[in-house]
Amino acid sequence: MNQFTAKIRHEFLEMLPPTIFFLIILHIVALIRSLMTHDTGITLPTAGSITLAALVLGKSVLLANMLPFVNRFPEKPLIWNVGWKTLMYTLVALVIHFLERLFEYWKVAHNLVEANRNLLAELDWAHFLAIQILLVVLILNYCIMAELSRVIGRRRFVAMFFGPLPAANS
């Protein structure tokens, strides 16, 4: 295997865990939103757009982890990095969540300023905050698992959850 394909394989395998995680949690969030907004006339994203969002978020986590300020406290107790990364990822999730809602209003208003004004006036803030709280809890869980995996090693982490892995053929 040449260096280029090895790098592509490595990047794909690094992107896989956050992508699968976000694929699952975004479907959970969509299901909860659907249950919360039943009979309100609000349209929900399709499974395809959720899958695309999970791919984007998976790659975003991979890119964010390369930034020096994201892994800010590697030598301190895990709670430091978990808390910091949860805050960083939550801020990104908040912006994406808000922009997703803004896009729905923009399709109707055809003017970004008017769409934002309508969104701020009409948004059901209780639902918005409920979804955001759910995202924070799920992101916190992701950060805990990712930090544990970083410290104890991916193979050992996977073996702890799914049983011993077969010997590597290297």
> Is 18 within the bounds of a domain?
yes
Q: Is the pLDDT of residue 154 over 90?
A: no
- pTM comes to 0.71
* Shared domain check, 84 and 51: no
Distance CA 18, CA 11 (A): 12
Of 27, 62, 97, which residue sits at a domain end? 62
- 144 and 157 in contact (C-beta within 8 Å)? no
Give the count of domains, the chain.
Answer: 2
Residue 68 forms part of a structural domain: no
**pLDDT reading at 121 higher than 80:** yes
Q: What is the pLDDT of residue 20?
A: 86
Residue 114 pLDDT grade (very low, low, confident, very high; cuts 50, 70, 90): very high
More confident residue, 73 or 49: 73
> Any idea which of 5-19, 24-38, 126-140, 151-165 has the lowest mean pLDDT?
24-38
- What average pLDDT does this structure show over 16-23? 84
Share of the chain above pLDDT 90, in %: 10
Structure-token pair, residue 50: 């959720």
19 domain-assigned: yes
Half-sphere exposure of 3 (CA within 13 A, CB side): 0
For residue 53, the enclosing domain spans 1-37+45-62
Q: Which helix (H) or strand (E) holds 60?
A: helix 47-66
Distance of CA 83 to the CA centre of its chain: 15
Q: Are residues 58 and 99 in the same domain?
A: no
Q: Are residues 87 and 138 in the same domain?
A: yes
Q: Kindly state the DSSP code that residue 166 receives in the 8-state scheme.
A: P
